[in-house]
Structure formats: structure tokens, C-alpha cells
Amino acid sequence: MDPALIPQKLQRLRQYFDGGNTMSYSFRKRQLQQLKRAMLKYEKPLYDALYADLKKNREESWVTEIGFVIAEIKQALQHLRYWMQPQKVKTNLVNFPSTSYILYEPLGVVLIISPWNYPLQLLFAPLVGAIAAGNCVVLKPSELAPATAGVMRDIVKEVFAEEHVLYVEGEGATVVPAMMQQFVFDHVFYTGSTATGKEIYRMAAEKMVPVTLELGGKSPCVVEKDADIKVAARRITVTKFSNTGQMCIAPDYILVHANRKNELVKALKKCIQSFYSNDPAVSYNYGKIINERHFNRLIAYLQQGSILHGGRHDSSQLYIEPTIMDNVPLDAPLMKEEIFGPILPILSFTTMEEAKAIIQNNPDPLAFYVYTSNAKTENKWIQSISFGGGCINNSSWHFTNYHLPFGGRRGSGMGRYHGRYSFEVFSHIKSVMKTPTWFDPSIKYPPFKGKLKLFKWFIR
């Protein structure tokens, strides 16, 4: 798309929205149905594209990308009529006999910016909520997953009118600032790095544009002394090395009780070999690093501790073996930066206070995981750590439950989405109170002298 045409196209979206074209239930429903049909039609091209970009197998692509979005569409279609209805709420005594309700109205023209690690899911899942809420949408896919971006372009062009959903490609660092300077969006939804999220936030603040920021951070995984080590190892391994570790809610590092460390390391090694074979480079179940820049960043981490397992790599294939590391200093970049790759540091602790102090080096993680067999222990952990979302005796799978809101806090993000929460994030919640005219008591009007006792009775 010619960058010079973008301002004109953005104005066409505004005109289309202002014309009320997206408001009706029937329109929103039809758009969601067409999106679902198109995704099923393009299922094979999407498999091929996700493999080309990230070497994702079909099963993983369905669970984490295609099927994930289709489940969000089904949820929206099932509940959309109810979500759109006025929601009646109580009215306090001072406003008797008024009635009160809440309306969810679309925000207008919204911008959705997605990263490369889940290029389909992280663009289309927010899109589902934005369409359900009745907005016009600008989609900016990641240029680092070009094969998937190409198939998504075909889907968007087939399903949506350009004045309803505009698909804008190009270098994000150039395209996004240009759009945000030329046009006032009604909301910006960004998923990606914290550094870029801060810049998006700054640009949005200049025009008082609200944002949702889905960022990242260092998500800790605590394995207590009473944990089921076999189960913990399986569930940590499958999520840490899914998508080659390129997942914002993957366990970033493990804090294991010192009494169970050796047992856990042994179990993790066994799981890696079982899931990905002795040569993960040729495993159907194991992917690749997105590009050379990220590959080189990850390779540098391998020098910052002792390798207990893995460590082999091949730049020609953008391959890094699932790797477990020990003896990593807390001030090393590996323990300061989000890893976003198949490298798993393991640290030990003897007391909860010791482990919490390590976590506080990188506070407010996007996710937190604890493995324990004791309900009191799990409650102590959940209540004492600030985090976006998490699991007890599991890792990462909370993200797939669209009944749970997903989002971070402070450095790991702001706002929430999934299921109904996606509809809400792209809606303005409008409060309305309706008062009849047949009842109009004089107590509400001046003179007020002598009415204080009555006011105190009504307002308490």
C-alpha cells in the first residue's frame, strides 16, 4: 500500500463508522461468521505460512493460532446479542423512582498492532472483539512473519470492506508512528515488547488516546518441595519450549526448592528427550528462531552460566536446542531481560522469602506459576506475588481460557482481553439513568435550609 494513501484511507474508516454502518447486531454477526468461514477456507495456507515463518507443526498451529481464534469467534457469536443489550443495574434511594442501565457502544476507529511470535492469533483475536463491539479497525501485522502476514492479508481482503477493516503492512517503526501522527484513533491495542509499548503509550498520550498494552517480562515458575516433580517437568517443558520458547507467558526461569533441584533437572532432561527426541533440530514438534538478530541475542545468553542440558545451535537453520542452565548470576542479562527463547535458567531456594526476593528483581511479571501439593502454600504464593495471570500446577494454559481476562500490570502491560473482555475493551461503557416526570418531590429543590436531616437519611 502506498504510504501516501493511508491518511485518506483512515478518513474513509472514520466516515464509514460515523455513518452507523457497523452498529447493528446483524452486521457484526455477519462479519464474524464470514471471518470464521474464511479462516477454515485458508486453513492449509495458514499451516504452510506458520511453518515457513516459525516451523510450527499443524497441531501446534491449530491449538495456539487457528483454533484459538475460531474459539474466540464462536464465543462472540454465541453471546453477542446479550453483550449488546442494555445491562440493567440498581438505582440508589436518592434517585427513586429512576431506572438505570449500562450501554456498550463502539469506540470508533481502533488500531491493533501484533507481534511475530503468534502472528495470526495476536492480530485476529483482538480483531474479533473489535468487530463484535462494532468498531472500524486498522490491522498492523508484524513484518517479521511475512508468510503468515500474506495469508492474513488475503483473508482480510476477502472478508471485509477496506473502509471497515484496513490492513496496513510495512516496517512497524515507520508505519505506526506515521499513522498515529496523522490520525486520532479511538483506541490502540498493542502486543509486543515493553520498550516499544512505552513508545506506543507516549505517542497515544499526546492525543489522549486510550491504550491496551500486552507486553511481557520475566515470568517465574516456582517448584515447591512438595510438588509432583514428574507432572511439573512435563507441564513446564511443553510450555517453555512451545514455539521454541518464543512466547510472552512461557516460564522464563525456574525457582525450585533446593531439596528437589536435582530431581527436577533429571525429569526435565527426560521430558525434553521424550518430546523432541535426541536431535530436536529435525523434530516435527520443535520450531526455529524467527530471525538471525534474535538468534544472536539468544546465543549470547549461553555464556552466562553452566549448561546442564542442550546448548547446541546452528545459525543456518536458526536452531537452538532446548537448553537448561545453572549457576546464572542474578545480575546477568539472562536474569534481567525477557529470554523469549528456548533457554531455561534454574535457580534454587530454601525459603519463600529467599525466592520472593529473587522475583522482586523483576517485579510484576505477566505470568506466575507455582507447583505445589499444599493449598496453604499455593495461597501464600498467589497472594504474595503481583502478576498479570497465572496457574497452579500448570504453566501458560490459562491464556487459552477465554472466560479468564488476560493482561499484565505495570511493566508487563495494562488492560485485559479475551472473550467478553475483548468486547469490553473495544467498547465505551455508557451510563444512563431514566427518571419519570410523574414524581417530582420539592425536597430536591431549593430552599434547602432545614432539609439536612432528610438528606442524611436518604444519602447514607
Q: Are 162 and 134 contacting, i.e. CB atoms less than 8 angstroms apart?
A: no
- CA dist 150 to 66, 185, 203, Å? 15, 25, 28
pTM, rounded to two decimals: 0.95
Is 2's pLDDT higher than 80? no
How would residue 163 be classed by pLDDT, with cut points 50, 70 and 90?
Answer: very high
Q: Tell me whether domains 3-215+410-432 and 220-400 share a fold.
A: no
Q: What is the pLDDT of residues 170-219, one digit of tens each?
A: 999 999 999 999 999 999 999 999 999 999 999 999 999 999 999 988 99
Give the contacts of 95 (CB within 8 A, at least 6 positions apart): 433, 435
CA distance 392 to 389: 11
Give the model's pLDDT for residue 5: 86
Rounded Cα gap, residues 423 and 417, in angstroms: 8
Task: Quote the CA–CA distance of 109 and 185 in Å, as a whole number.
Answer: 6
DSSP state of 316: G
pLDDT at res. 4: 77
Residue 278 has pLDDT above 80, yes or no: yes
**Would strands 319-320 and 313-314 be described as parallel, antiparallel, or unpaired?**
antiparallel
Domain extent listing, the chain: 3-215+410-432, 220-400
Q: What is the pLDDT of residue 128?
A: 98
pLDDT at 177: 96
Per the annotation, the verdict on 214 as an active-site residue is: yes
Question: What confidence tier does 228 reach under pLDDT thresholds 50, 70, 90?
Answer: very high
- Helix, strand or coil, per DSSP, at residue 308: strand
**Residue-averaged pLDDT of the chain:** 96
All cell numbers assigned to 386: 503481583
Under DSSP, is residue 256 helix (H, G, I), strand (E, B) or coil? strand
pLDDT at 3 over 90: no
Q: Is the pLDDT of residue 1 over 80?
A: no
Question: How is domain 3-215+410-432 classified at the CATH fold level?
Answer: Aldehyde Dehydrogenase; Chain A, domain 1 (3.40.605)
248 is catalytic: yes
Average the pLDDT over 407-428 and give the result.
95
Look at residue 208 in the predicted model and tell me its pLDDT: 97
Cite the beta strand spans of 70-227 per DSSP E.
87-89, 99-106, 109-113, 136-140, 165-167, 187-191, 211-214, 220-223
Domain 220-400: state its class: alpha beta
Measure the CA–CA gap between 263 and 108, rounded to whole angstroms.
Answer: 55
Q: Are 219 and 369 in contact (CB under 8 A)?
A: yes
Selected catalytic residue, list 248, 271, 321, 424: 248
Q: Which of 60, 65, 72, 214 is catalytic?
A: 214
* Distance from C-alpha of 114 to C-alpha of 143, rounded to nearest angstrom: 10
Please check the confidence at residue 292 and state whether its pLDDT lies above 90.
Answer: yes
In percent, how much of the chain has pLDDT > 70?
A: 100
pLDDT of residue 339 exceeding 90, the answer is yes
